[in-house]
Structure 1
Amino acid sequence: MTGKSEWPSSLDDSELDELDRYLRAHTGEDDLLLDGVHGLLSALAVGPLLVLPSEWLPEVLHEPFADENEGNRVLELLAKLNDSISAELDVDAYEPILGEVELEDGVMLSAAGWCEGFSRGIDLRAGVWESRLSEDPQLMELLGPVMALAVDEGVLSADAEFEKLSDEEYDSCLAQVSAVLVSVNQYWQAKPVTEAEVEAMALQLPSDTNKDNSNPPRQRSGHWVH
C-alpha cells in the first residue's frame, strides 16, 4: 500500500495521535472524534458543492483554544487531514479512519464514528443531496455500501426492517468505501448541481431550526485506527 508520508499534506501517525488527543479532551458526548472528523471531511471532499472551513469547523471544534499556538496547531492538523483525503483518493490510497470497540471477546473495528461524520458532512449540503437522491437512483446505488454500514451502526434509520450485516458483509462494505468515494466524486463531476437545486437549497431554513433534540445520541466509536 502507498504510504501516507508520500504526500506532504498528509498526517503521520504522531500527528494523528496529537489530533486524536486534542479532540478527546475537548469534545462532548455527541461530538465527533478523529474517525468522525475524517468521515465528515470525506463527505465534503466528494460532495456536490464547496463547503468552506467556516461552515465545517463548528462541527469539529466546540471550545475556545487555550492559546494562539494551540489554535494554530490544531487548525494546521485539521487542514492537513482535509487535504490528505483528496490526495489519497486521487492515487487510490484512501482508507477510512475507523474506531475500535472493546467487546467481551476482544476488540473489533467500527465504522460508526466515520459514518456519523460522513452523515453530518452530507447534512451541510442536505438540500442538494436529498433532492438528487430522490431523483436519481444511481447516486443511492453508488452510496450503497456506506449506507449499509451507517444503517448497521444505527447512524441512519432504514425505512424497512434491516437485518444486521454479517461480519463478512461488514468487511466487504468497508473494503468498498474508497471506491464508493471515488465513484460519488465522479458522479457529481459528471452531473453537477443545477441552478434549480442551488436555489432550492438557498430557500431552506437553517439546519439548526430543523434539529430534533428528542433523538437519542448517535453511536460513537473508540480509538482511531488507520
Structure 2
Amino acid sequence: MHLEQPLSEKEFDDLDQFLLSDRCSDDAMTMDTLHGYLTAIAIGPETIMPAEWLPLVWGEDEAAAPKWKNKKEEEKIINLIMRFMNEVLITFEVSPKEFEPLYCEHEYEGKTLIDPEAWCWGFWEGVELRAEAWERIWDSEVAELIRPIYLLGADEIEEEELKEVDDPVKVHALALEIEANVPAIYRYWLPLRKGAVETVKREEPKVGRNDDCPCGSGKKYKKCCGADAA
C-alpha cells in the first residue's frame, strides 16, 4: 500500500485558510465539516468517486466553485483535499481505533467542552450522498452507534429528541460517544461495502429496431444485426 505523507501543519493551515477565504462561498465546508464529510464517504456502504463528492465541498450550489487565482492554485488545493481524504482512509485501513474526529472546542461555564456539530453535519452530508444504502444500518445491531451523529448532524430531528442535544454538556458527551463508535461503524460496513458504479456513456446514438442497420446491409436493424443481438 502506498502511503502518502499526511498534511503538514502548514498545509493544513493553508487548506483551512482557503476554505475560510472570500474566494469560497459562504456555504463552503470548514475543515471540521470536511473531515466529517470525508469520514462518512470513507467508511460508508459504497465507494464514491471524487468527481461526485468533491463539488459539494464548495457548497450545494453548482455555481459555488472557488474563484481560483490560477490553475496551479486549483491543483494545489484539490491535492490537499485528496491527501486529507487519504489520511482518513489510511487510518481506517491501518488502525481504526486511532481515528480521531476533527472537533472544535469551546468554553462553557469555565470548562473546555467539545463542539462536534460541524463535524457531524459534514458526516451527515456524506451519508446523504447514499441515503438509501445507509438505511440498512438503522435495522442492524449497530443502529445505536450512529444515532448520536444523526442527533447532531441531521437537518431535522424529532421534537422529543431535542432534549438530548439542548445542553453543551450533553453534546460533549455525545461527541465522546461518536469518537468511540466510528470504528465500529466502519467495521459494520467493511464486509458489505460495494465498489463504485461507473456510468458508461454511449458514444454513438442508439439504433432503433426499425432503423436501417448501421452495418450497411440495407436491411432493417431488427432483421439484421439487431436479430443477432437478440
TM over 0.5: yes
CA deviation vs aligned residue, 1:118-144 (integer Å, no higher than 9, x gap)? 1110111112113x145x143422213
- Whether 1:146 and 2:142 are equivalent positions in the alignment is no
| 1:75–1:169 distance in 2 versus 1, CA, 3 Å | same
Instruction: Flag the structure with larger Rg.
Output: 2
Q: For residues 184-203 of structure 1, what are the structure 2 equivalents within 5 Å?
A: 184-192=185-193
In the other structure, the counterpart of 1:35 is 32
Pick from 104, 120, 123: which aligns with 1:115?
A: 120
Moved more, 41-50 or 79-88: 79-88
In the other structure, the counterpart of 1:44 is 41
Q: For residues 161-200 of structure 1, what are the structure 2 equivalents within 5 Å?
A: 161-162=160-161, 163-165=163-165, 166-192=167-193
CA deviation vs aligned residue, 1:53-97 (integer Å, no higher than 9, x gap)? 100111113224221210111011101100111222332222111
Unaligned runs of at least 5 residues, structure 2: 59-64, 198-230
Q: Is the 2:4–2:86 Cα contact (8 Å) retained in structure 1?
A: no
Amino acid at match of 2:9: D
In the other structure, the counterpart of 2:103 is 98
Pick from 7, 10, 33: which aligns with 2:6?
A: 10
Between 1 and 2, higher relative CO (CA 8 Å, sep ≥ 6) is seen in: 1
Measure the CA separation in 2 of the matches of 1:27 and 1:102. 28
Unaligned runs of at least 5 residues, structure 1: 1-6, 199-226
Amino acid at match of 2:104: G
Q: Is the 1:9–1:81 Cα contact (8 Å) retained in structure 2?
A: no
Question: How many pairs were matched up?
Answer: 182
Measure the CA separation in 1 of the matches of 2:70 and 2:107. 35
User: CA RMSD for the aligned pairs?
Assistant: 2.7
- Whether 1:74 and 2:77 are equivalent positions in the alignment is yes
Q: Secondary structure at the match of 2:83?
A: helix
Normalising by structure 1, we get a TM-score of 0.69
Amino acid at match of 1:93: E
